[in-house]
């Protein structure tokens, strides 16, 4: 199955989850998503998602100077972003449960 379309629908949720654990700059967020198993995520998609979430007020940002190259723009989650994350987390759990029931693969907790 091509997971590209699935990823588009949940990339905001995945990025918010990553930065809720620890602030990160663009490529760091990409790396952490890939390490979590979302290997097909594109750099440009994540950078665009970070900018969009920042513009919508869900993330804060700050610049950290680097001796090894250009300065890095870090993103962190704020109260609005945490509220969005919690709402999307609930939506995801309900959706995943419904799909699990349909596919008869629901995990019982």
Query: b vs e for 6-21, b when ≥16 Cβ sit within 10 Å of the residue's Cβ?
Result: ebeebbbbbbbbbbee
Residue 108 lies in a domain: no
* Alpha helix segments (H runs only) across 4-78: 4-21, 26-35, 43-55
Q: What is d(CA 22, CA 30) in angstroms, rounded to the nearest whole number?
A: 13
- Which tokens is 48 given? 């665009």
In this structure, are residues 34 and 41 in contact, taking their beta carbons and an 8 Å threshold?
yes
The pLDDT score that the predictor gives to residue 104 is: 86
CATH of residue 77's domain is 1.10.10.10
Residue 72 lies in a domain: yes
Domain limits at 86? 3-103
User: Residue 109 — pLDDT band, cuts 50, 70, 90?
Assistant: low
pLDDT tens digits, residue range 46-103?
999 999 999 999 999 999 998 888 899 999 999 999 999 999 999 999 999 999 999 9
Residue 90 lies in a domain: yes
In the chain, how many domains are there? 1
pLDDT tens digits, residue range 9-59?
899 999 999 999 999 999 999 999 999 999 999 999 999 999 999 999 999
The pLDDT score that the predictor gives to residue 69 is: 85
Residue 109 lies in a domain: no
Closest CA to 88 of 17, 30, 25: 17
Decide which of 75 and 109 is more confident: 75
């Amino acid at each position: 199955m091509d997971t590209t379309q699935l990823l588009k629908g949940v990339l905001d949720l995945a990025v918010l989850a990553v930065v809720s654990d620890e602030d990160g700059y663009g490529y760091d967020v990409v790396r952490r998503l890939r390490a979590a198993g979302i290997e097909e995520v594109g750099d440009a998609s994540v950078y665009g998602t970070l900018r969009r979430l920042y513009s919508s007020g869900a993330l804060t940002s700050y610049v950290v100077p680097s001796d090894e190259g250009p300065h890095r723009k870090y993103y962190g989650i704020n109260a609005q972003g945490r509220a969005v994350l919690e709402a999307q987390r609930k939506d995801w759990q309900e959706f995943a449960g419904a799909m699990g029931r349909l596919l008869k693969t629901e995990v019982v907790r």
